[in-house]
Amino acid sequence: MVCDKLRRLSYGWLLVQGLLAAASPKRSIDLNAKLWGLAFENADELEPKPWYVRSVRAAGVGMLAAGGVGLLLEERASEDGDDGVDEPDEPITVETDDA
């Protein structure tokens, strides 16, 4: 299904973004500043503070973990043939008292 492929693609993209942010946070910040620079003047002159660089690295590690776990769970679900919908074994009936 298209949703499954898009979900896997988004997990992969999250993994790539996390790898870039964890391995080279300043380069990731520079890339984002250039993208934001399309709408702002002098965005290339901004210098990030050390705490922000550390927080970008920490967020990158979190994105790596989330993307990796997401891809592993998607792979496991496709091996099990599980589409994420739980079907009950028996139909559910509701009894009412018409007194």
- 67 CB burial (10 A radius; 0-12, 13-18, 19+): buried
Contacts of residue 4, Cβ cutoff 8 Å, sequence gap at least 6: 74, 78
Q: What is the DSSP letter of 85?
A: -
Identify the residue with better confidence: 94 or 15: 15
Over 90: is that where the pLDDT of 60 sits?
yes
pLDDT(87) > 70: no
pTM: 0.68
pLDDT, position 9: 92
Q: Over the Cα atoms of the chain, what is R_g?
A: 22
What pLDDT, on a 0 to 100 scale, did the predictor assign at position 86? Answer: 59
Contact (Cβ atoms closer than 8 angstroms) between residue 99 and residue 40: no
Whether 70 contacts 12, CB under 8 Å: no
Question: Residue 56 carries which side chain, given as an amino acid letter?
Answer: V
Question: Per mean pLDDT, which range of 12-21, 44-53, 60-69 is the poorest?
Answer: 44-53
